Structures are given as C-alpha cells and as structure tokens.
Amino acid sequence: MYYLTRMLGKPVLDAAGETVGTISDVAIATGEVFPRVTSLAFLGPDKTPFMLSWRKYVAEIDDEHVMLNSERAGLRFSYLQPDEILLHRDLLNKQIVDTQGMKVVRVNDLKLSESRNQLRLLGAEVGIRGILRGLAPWLERAAERIARVFGTGIPENLIAWNYMDLLDRDLSHVQLSVTHKRLHELHPADVADVLEQLSAAQRARVFEHLDNTQAALAVAELEDEYQADVIDDLGSQRASDILEMMDPDDAADVIGDLPYDKAEALLRLMGVEESGTIRRLLGYREKTAGGIMTPEVTTVTEEMSLEQVIAHLREEAEDTESIYYIYVVEGDMHLTGVISLRDLVISEPHTLVSDIVSRDVFNVGVEDDQEDVAELMSKYDLLAMPVVDETGKLLGIVTVDDALDVLEEESAEDLALATGASRSFETSDAWSWLGRKSGWVTVWAVLGVLASLLISRFTNTLESAIALVFFIPLVIRLAEEISSHSLAMLIEAGDPEDRPPFMRRLFVDVLVGIGLGLVSGLLAFGMLEALGEPLDTSVVVAGSVGGTVLATTAIGTLVPYLALKKDGSGWRAPSVLFSTGLAVIGLAVYLLLATYLKSTIRF
C-alpha cells in the first residue's frame, strides 16, 4: 500500500540510477471504479515541472523512490488529458462529498495499491491518521502506540473513490464517469445534510446542478437557519420559482425569515394564488398550529359516493401535500367528520360518505401551541391533525413530518437547558435562576478562598499570591464550561456507536486546549505586565494559567470517556459532581504549576 503524502518529494531515478527529479504529483483516469495512475509528475532541475506516462516509463516503485525504465535522454514528456485529474492538486486537502455517509469531509491523504504492475487509487483518507501522516510519519506511529496503551486503536477512515464527489473545483469541469451517486440522485434530506456543511459559495455551485423541483425539495429539508440564507443567495426569479414549488407551509417559513424587501419582491414574482396562500399563513403567530399547518387539505361532502371521492382524490393528489385522511365538511368548510383511506378502500364504491364517516374527529385551534399539537398527534398516533378556527371552519392540517420537527426542536431546547448550553431566560425567571445558581456561587467562593490560602502558603512573595488569585475565576469558570460541553456531547450521542472515537475526540480537544492555553497565558502575561508586575511573576502566572487550561481541557474529555468505558450502561455520575471535581482538579493543577514554576524560574 502507498500513501500520496509519503510519495511526494521522493526521488525519481532513471534506468542508470541517476536522479532526474522529485515526485510532485500523480494523475489518475477518472473513468474507472478504482482509477489507475496514468501519469507521474515530478520537478526536475531548477524546479521545472515534467510529466511522464506511468505505463510507458515507470519500472518499479517502493517506499524510497520511483525507478524509470529509460535513461534521461530517452524520456518523452506528456500532458494531462481531459479525463485525468492530479491527486495532489485536485484532491489532497480539498473538500469532497461522501455520498455514502452523506457528509462533507476534507481529504487528508490518498491511499493507492499496486496490482498487476499498475498503481490504483483505493480511496481518500479523511480521518486523523491522514492528518498525522501528512505532518510526519512518526506522529502517526506515536499516536498508534499511545492508543494501544488505552486499549484502542486509530482506525483508518477511508472513503472509496465511487463514494466521492468533488466540491472545491467546478463540478462541470470534472467529468466523473464512474458510477458515482451524483447529488441530484440522492434523497432530498441527504442533499440537505450535505448543503448544511458547505460554504455559501459551494452551496450556490451545488444548486446550479439541481433543477427547481430537486432544489425545492432540498430547501424544505434544510434546517431553519440555512433556508433563508440559501434563498437569499439565489437570483430573485429562480428563488421565487423554487418557493412556488415548495409546500405552502415550508415556503411561508422561509419567506418569514427573509428581509421584508426581499420577501415582498419574491411574493410579487409568484403566482397570485400561491402568494396569497403564503401571505395568509404568514398572518398566524409563530409556534402555533396555524404557524405550522398546511392549507392543502382534501375535503369531501357527505352526499358524495366513495366512487366520486376516489375520482376527486385522483384530481387533487398532485396538488396536495399528503392524503392521510379525508375530511368531511359542510357549508363554509365546517368540519363534521373524517374517513380513513382504509375505510375508503374496503367499502363498496356506491357507498355514501355519510354511511362510513366518523364524527369523533380530533382537532386543534389555530392558536394552539405547536408543542401541544405535536404531543396530541403522538399520543393518538395521528398522521395529520385538522386545524379549525373558533367557528369550526377547517383551515388546514398539521402533518406528521411537521409534528416530528416540532418535537425535535423542543427536545433540543430541553437538552440545551439541561446541560447549561442555553443561557437565555426571561426576566420573570431571573429570581428562580439566581436561586439555582446561588449554591454554585457558594461552592466557587469556598474553592477560591481555599486556593488563595494555599497559594499564599506555598509561594514566596505576596505579589505572586495576589497575581495568581486574580486568575482563579478563569480556572473555575473554564472547568464549569468544559464539564457542560463534555456531558452535552455524551448525552447527544447516547448510542455508543454514535459517539466519536475517543482518540479523535481527545486529539481535537487537546488541540483546542493548546490554543486556549496559549491565548489565556498571553492574556495573563499582558495584563500583569501592563499592571507593572515583576517579570518573573508574569511568567509564573502566565505559565500556570496556560498549562491549567490545557490540562483541564484534556481531563474534561478523558474522564467521561473512561467512565463510559468502565460502565457499559452509560454515564450516571451527577453533572454537579463532575463539574465540582473538574474545578478541584483544575485548581490543584494551577497550584502545582505555580509552585513548580516559582521554584525554577529565576530572572
């Protein structure tokens, strides 16, 4: 097996054993399931680029060099063909769409295999191993040894070529003739997952390859915070065409998040009927049944026969979002009952609607809270819930997909509140919030006093003690935030299979800790220097703060994972205990670092 990052820079030798250059890239032909390497690019004398046919001139390849079958004078150079791409230039460190995992990833390395005197591309390495290998091979080996100490490994995260799709280059310029799943062939929900991971410019490029129907379905599946941005970035005419093809309730949600001028311009470009429907929906308050309902509802009267009902359904099916139930109305759309599709199918065609109608129909008011509506639908296993006004007039229905979105949204809000991720609260809740936090204030105050006494005892000068105590709130606050972050990650990934690998998470958090530590240490140093503290005091405090931030970040990641590994049933330790313990550990590290640095640093 060969890796592109290890090949780059290796010498290229001719048949006489003389070095003619160093490898700069390799080209592949894209029209195969496992593309073969077709050309070798190398830098000759004075960094002059050359390209050779791999099949004609490469005799052998190993970990140290590439050997050619001809001497320098016999080499004939070639050019990149239309169906070829360069791995280093076009793929390495570029973003790709993993159309199997439905996500956007960055290519950290490329894996190749030698077969029948040909070198073929197996896939892209998108995991931590590729990053480490690209930095230095010894880093990858060291990380593997550390992982084995913890009884785990660093798996290779490889995406096969037939599940890759380029993003960083214009898709129209790269004709991928292999059996790739193009984005327009994916389910709209999968396309939405991919779009949410892209930059605005990349999303615009993807939309160029989707027709209006596919674009409308994808926009409807996007999270709320992306929908308005996507529509706002499109031209007015195309944006209005896409909104016109969306279900009215989805289109109204998008229009409601746009600036007023943009929204009005798009509504004026739409058809009169479609824009009128959306304007009516925009008149209802958010987070109510009216705010999430769709006005597209199938209705019949009691005098109709089931044969007439079926003919009516055939005519309206194309313009109706969903037909879960058929609602019976009289007069001015007054709701009187409901019939199910099951009853419609098993009954005789000549049967009248009045003979099979169910008068016991659940319904909600247009101003009812959306969460209450979703919970009622869940309780009674309903696929749709009719929405009526105060007179009983049928206005629309809330469909099961919208109810699920509401329950997911409310669950996310509850999780944010439970883990402390959300800090927003109403004024009326201020005293309640203060009461809940008062216990923590006491804990932090006690820990701060104990730490200051210990620091005063173990440091040699009063100035150092005062300077160190000044940054204790930073250490305590950091511990609380890290504990909330770690617990939230574990709660959100309740299934062990959904949790990110331990070594990957630890590596990422340590990198974050290094960055935070450097910033915190430099900030502390700058503040103390500005206050005129002695240089040795500034260095001691800065080193203590930076080191503590790094250690606390790593420990805050390590402890929950070790607990989960020990207890296969999941994390059960109270979050208060974890936060307090991490604060104590952080203060202990802070004290030990300060004591050590004070005793060793001399200016």
> For residue 242, which of 220, 224, 272, 265 has the smallest C-alpha distance?
220
Distances in Å between the Cα of 532 and the Cα atoms of 286, 455, 523 are 55, 21, 14
**166 in a structural domain:** no
| Final residue belonging to a domain, choices 116, 141, 158 | 158
Write out the E strands in 250-363. Answer: 299-300, 325-330, 334-340
Residues 444 and 589 in one domain: yes
Residue 323 contacts residue 336 (beta carbons within 8 Å) = no
User: What gap in Å lies between CA 24 and CA 1, rounded to an integer?
Assistant: 19
For 540-598, the pLDDT digits (tens) are 778 888 888 788 877 777 766 655 554 444 444 455 566 677 777 877 887 788 778 77
pLDDT at 358 over 50: yes
**374 in a structural domain:** yes
* Dihedral sign (CA 316, 317, 318, 320): positive
| Final residue belonging to a domain, choices 256, 283, 310 | 283
Number of domain units in the chain: 4
Residues 314 and 204 in one domain: no
> For residue 590, which of 440, 479, 442, 441 has the smallest C-alpha distance?
479
What mean pLDDT, rounded, does the chain reach? Answer: 77
What length is written for the chain? 603
Per-residue pLDDT averaged across 239-263, rounded? Answer: 89
Residues 55 and 145 in one domain: yes
pLDDT band of residue 181 (cuts 50, 70, 90) is very low
Residue 41 contacts residue 7 (beta carbons within 8 Å) = no
Residue 398 contacts residue 325 (beta carbons within 8 Å) = no
Specify the pLDDT at position 488.
62
Does 451 or 535 have the greater pLDDT score?
535
**433 in a structural domain:** no
Residues 138 and 212 in one domain: no
Residues 74 and 218 in one domain: no
For 154-179, the pLDDT digits (tens) are 777 777 776 665 544 443 333 322 22
Residues 405 and 312 in one domain: yes
DSSP code of residue 184: G
- Quote the pTM value: 0.51
163: exposed, middle or buried (C-beta count within 10 Å: 0-12, 13-18, 19+)? middle
Task: Give the CA count within 13 Å in the CB-facing half-sphere of 305.
Answer: 7
User: What gap in Å lies between CA 248 and CA 256, rounded to an integer?
Assistant: 12
pLDDT band of residue 23 (cuts 50, 70, 90) is very high
**289 in a structural domain:** no
Residue 364 contacts residue 387 (beta carbons within 8 Å) = yes
Distances in Å between the Cα of 168 and the Cα atoms of 5, 28, 32, 71 are 19, 18, 21, 38
**60 in a structural domain:** yes
Residues 447 and 311 in one domain: no
pLDDT band of residue 26 (cuts 50, 70, 90) is very high
| Final residue belonging to a domain, choices 123, 158, 193 | 158
Residue 161 contacts residue 35 (beta carbons within 8 Å) = yes
* CATH number of the CATH domain containing 35: 2.30.30.240
pLDDT at 68 over 80: yes
- 253 lies in which domain range? 183-283
Residues 98 and 209 in one domain: no
> For residue 169, which of 103, 211, 78, 107 has the smallest C-alpha distance?
107
